[in-house]
Structure formats: C-alpha cells, structure tokens
Structure 1
Amino acid sequence: MEQEKNPAEGGLLILMRHGDYTVASDGHKRLNEIGIAQAEKSGRYISETLGLREADVIFSSDVERACETADIVARYVRAARREQDAALRPGGSGIAELIMQEYSRKNVIIVTHIPVIELQYAAFLNRNAFFSYSPAALTALRYIPGKQCYEMIASYAP
C-alpha cells in the first residue's frame, strides 16, 4: 500500500515484531545474523519507502530481542526518545491507551511481540487486521482524528 500523507504531518504509528533470534547458552534470546539483517531491512523501509526519518518516540518491549531490533531501527529513524516498557513483553497488555491519549498525532514506532501486536491492532483499528507475523515485519497506521482510530496504510515483511 502506498503512503497517502507526509509522515511529518504526524499521526504515523509503526507496529513491528522483533527480528529472528537464537536462544544462547546462557538462556538469553538475542537477535541472530538473520534477525539483524531483517531489522536493518525494516529500518530502511521505514526511512526510505515510508519517508519517516524522525520519530517522536520508539517504544519497545524490555525483552532483549525487541530492544536490539528497536536499536537497529533507531539507526535509520532518529527518535527524540527511546523507551522500553514491560507492558510490551509477551503476554503484556500493550500501550494502546497511552498512544491514543498522548501520541495519536505523533510519529511512533512500537517494537514488540505477536500477542501484543494482536491486542494493539484491535485497539488502534477497532477491528482485527492483517499482520504478517514474520520476524521484523511491520505495519504502518495513520491516525484518523475524527474517528479516533487508525487506518492501515502499509505493510512490510523483510
């Protein structure tokens, strides 16, 4: 899908899954080489194809693989703030209410996990929507002020 508006107008929300990972011998789940490449491709897509080079905030789960993915995306999209939130962990409740109240007219990237993405979709779109569950896949949403919800404008899976 083509982007309909300039992201500088605000209200662009990117929902993104973390990149592919491997469980290390210490039990930590870190991005592997494939996951790093996926996150880089998605970061370039956000910056080059969507034209979003600056975000007000990049949120991520505080889980290592999501943090690593968000850090890679931040190489391509400069963020005024970078925050980790336990509500974005697998099984978390998400941050849809915070986004709707404080960030709906701002450019935001959220890097999280499949179950949280599903919850966020329902909140932001007022319905379920298609999302590619591939590692580092993302969907771009645009806020609709009169309806107080979002519309999907792009989807990408590296």
Structure 2
Amino acid sequence: MGAVIPNKAACRSAMLKSIADLEARMARNIEALVREVDEHIKSLTPVHTGQAVRNYIWTTGAPSTTVFEAIDNGPPGPTNSMSLGQEPRRDVNETAAAQSLESLNFANPFTTIYLTNNSPDIVGLELGRLPFPGRSRSPRGMFGLVNTYVQAKIAAKGIMS
C-alpha cells in the first residue's frame, strides 16, 4: 500500500522552488567568500612593480595560464619602507586584475572557480624570500594565510550561513 500525496504538482513545485532557493543562497555565499578571498590575498601581497597583484586571475573551467605584465603608472617608490597598501602601483594593477573577478558568473554554485597567479615572483613572495630573506614585507606569505582564514571561517560558520 502506497502513500497518497494530494496535489502532487503543488508539492513538486514547492520542492523545486526550495531547491532553487537553496542553490541561490549557496551561490550568494560562495560569491561573498570569493570576494573576501580576493580582498585578503591582494591586501597581503607586497607590491613593487605591481605584477604579483596584477596576476591574481579568477577563472572557471580551467586555471589561467597567462602571465600579465604590470601596469607601469610611474616610479614604484621606496616600497620596502612602505606599509602594505600604500604602494603607488597597487591600485592600477589590482583594478586590472579585478576584471577577472567581475567576469565570473556565480549563478551555478557547483562551478569550479580557480584563482591563479603566474607572476614570476609569486613563489618568492609566498615563501617570504623577496625582496630577500629577512626583509619581506609579507614574511608569512599570502596563500597559506588566506587558506587558513577561509578554512577556519567555513569550519566555524559553514558555507551556508
């Protein structure tokens, strides 16, 4: 003997709406998390020429393999004596990199999103070796710190909060 569901069409419609609402909520949360990652990783990245922040590229489908040259908007200045965020070449190169973030479509929360950085100096910056060991303005790197932050945030609040 089976159960009888009165008004199956209404029940199915309500279930599909619930699933769509859940996917939309997940997509909004993923977009917020991606934007937070973007902001944090760039803020931790030292800028001299601007190439490292210029090469934070967001894609779907496959990681970026492109290396972008820094946008030269004048002398870099004495960046080793500047606080992170005060470098003259930061804004123009961050803005150029942000185009890749703005091109993402977050509608499908199951799409794989990649953040790549193919700058020749990114490994040295991540390892705290640039401009030379003991003199890095970001000695603990960027990726590892942001990954730890994101993992802790997800563990504490989940992806759906």
TM-score by length of 1: 0.29
Please tell me whether Structure 1 or Structure 2 has the larger radius of gyration of its CA atoms.
2
Where relative contact order (Cα < 8 A, 6+ residues apart) is larger, the structure is 1
Report the structure, 1 or 2, having the larger strand content.
1
TM-score by length of 2: 0.28
